[in-house]
Amino acid sequence: MPVLKLQLGDVVRTRKTHPCGSDRWEIVRLGADIGIRCLGCGRRVLMPRAKLERRIKEFLRRGPQEEPAPGGPGTPVPHGDV
């Protein structure tokens, strides 16, 4: 199963609701564990990526697209005399 492309600022709807009654979460931390913040009460939770991916029902809003950094992958390296 492919890994979902998650970005900071994404807002997702989950299959289960939070005890406050909201099912909308904003992604606030990326890594092996994903940090999410409930948009109903503001509670922050860390969850393993695989578990969160199973619980996501839909994306409500995608975060800003990150531009590749200058000199990052795909940037030609100048060859000069050393």
How far is residue 62's CA from residue 23's CA, in Å, rounded to a whole number? 16
Q: Was domain 11-61 assigned CATH 1.10.287?
A: no
- pTM higher than 0.85 for the full model? no
Domain ranges of the chain: 11-61
User: What is the residue-level pLDDT of the chain in tens, covering all 82 positions?
Assistant: 567 788 999 999 999 999 999 999 999 999 889 999 999 999 999 999 999 999 999 999 987 776 555 555 555 555 555 5
How far is residue 30's CA from residue 33's CA, in Å, rounded to a whole number? 7
Determine the pLDDT at residue 81: 57
Determine the pLDDT at residue 8: 92
Determine the pLDDT at residue 29: 93
**DSSP code of residue 17:** P
Determine the pLDDT at residue 62: 87
